[in-house]
Amino acid sequence: VLKLFKLLHRTRQEVFKNDTKALEAARQKINEEFRNNRDEKSEEKINELLKLASDVEVILRTSVIQAIHTDSDKIVLVPRKDLLQDNTPYLDKPTKK
């Protein structure tokens, strides 16, 4: 449980780097969720909560991207290196090798 708690906080720091509001909001939410369930005794429920926390960490790490408002009508996206993937073009009729 502690390992997953620390992993979520490390992921939060990486995903929301340089965004103090998002860093603080994510810190509070992570701490609140773990605090609310700290007295849980059911092994089944604990495993379910750990699976949920693990899924949240994966989604944060692989799907969340920072956006910065530069003007009233412009947003700059700040992708992390682990989000960038090679683009594979779509082909209606795949070629045979």
Pair 78, 65: CB distance under 8 Å: yes
pLDDT at residue 34, as a whole number: 93
pLDDT at residue 19, as a whole number: 86
Size of the chain in residues: 97
Tell me the C-alpha distance between 87 and 81, whole Å. Answer: 14
pLDDT at residue 97, as a whole number: 65
**Residues 6 or more apart whose Cβ sits within 8 Å of residue 48:** none
Pick out the chain residues at pLDDT < 50: none
DSSP string over 41-89: --HHHHHHHHHHHHHHHHHHHHH--EEEEEETTEEEEE--GGG--PPPP
